[in-house]
Homo-oligomer: A and B are copies of this chain.
Amino acid sequence: MKRNIALEVAFDGTAYCGWQRQKEQRTIQGELEAAVIRLTGENSSVHGAGRTDAGVHALAMTAAFFTEGNIPADGILRGLNSILPDDIVVIRAIDAGADFHPRKSAVGKVYAYRLSFAFPALPTERLYCWQMSVKPDIEAMQTCMARLVGRHDFSSFEASGSRDPRAEGRGAVRTIFTAGLAPSGDDGVIIRVSGDGFLRHMVRNIVGTLIEAGRGRMSAEEFAAVMAAKDRAAAGPTAPARGLFLEKVFYKF
Contacts and interface: CB of A to CB of B under 8 A. Distances in A.
Contacts of A123: 10-12, 86-89
Contacts of A121: 89
Given A12-B123, A89-B123, A124-B245, 15 more contacts: A10-B120, A10-B122, A10-B124, A57-B124, A59-B122, A81-B120, A86-B123, A87-B123, A87-B126, A88-B123, A89-B120, A89-B121, A89-B122, A91-B120, A124-B127
Nearest to A9: B123
Contacts of A81: 120
A110 interface: no
A239 interface: no
Interface string A117-152: 000111110111000000000000000000000000
Interface of A: 10-12, 57, 59, 81, 86-91, 120-124, 126-128, 245
Contacts of A124: 10, 12, 57, 59, 127-128, 245
Nearest to A8: B120
A57 B124 CA distance: 8
Contacts of A87: 123, 126
Nearest to A127: B124
Residue of A89, A122, A124, A245 with most chain B CB atoms under a 10 A cut-off: A124
A101 B215 CA distance: 41
